[in-house]
């Protein structure tokens, strides 16, 4: 059983984005992020981006960057663990890694 809600949050990218083609021409980009927590327990979520937004994410953001996201969260409960997956509709830069110089600008 899953619950679906709209979310807006700042997240830290934990791994390099992976892109996969679904169907004939639909791109899906996924990677894991860390959500902010008040408690000491760290919450990990998987983000899913579709189409051109996923292509932009792959090109401009790297591991350890912080981004602001908006999208739908779904939580799947299996036995004693919960998996959080967020389908992202909008993404904005928040705090980018200063060690990376982008030559395009």
pLDDT at 12 over 90: yes
Q: What is the pTM of this model?
A: 0.79
Please state the domain count of the chain. 1
Residue-level pLDDT at 105: 45
Mean pLDDT for all residues in the chain: 85
Residue-level pLDDT at 86: 93
Q: How confident is the model at residue 39 (pLDDT cuts 50, 70, 90)?
A: confident
Residue 94, Cβ neighbours under 10 Å: how many?
A: 13
Residue 102 located in a structural domain: no
Residue 100 located in a structural domain: no
Nearest to 34 by CA among 78, 86, 100, 93: 86
Beta bridge partners of 47: 31, 86
Handedness of CA 46, 48, 54, 56 (dihedral sign): negative
Residue 55 located in a structural domain: yes
- CATH assignment at residue 90: 2.40.50.140
């Amino acid at each position: 059983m899953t619950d679906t809600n709209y979310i807006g949050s700042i997240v830290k990218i934990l791994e390099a984005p992976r892109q996969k083609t679904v169907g004939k021409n639909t791109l899906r980009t996924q990677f894991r992020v860390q959500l902010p927590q008040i408690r000491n327990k760290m919450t990990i979520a998987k983000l899913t981006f579709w189409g051109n937004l996923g292509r932009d994410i792959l090109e401009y953001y790297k591991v350890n960057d912080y981004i602001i996201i908006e999208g739908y969260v779904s939580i799947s409960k299996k036995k004693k663990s919960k998996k959080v997956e967020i389908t992202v509709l909008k993404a904005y830069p928040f705090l980018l890694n200063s060690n990376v110089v982008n030559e395009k600008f």
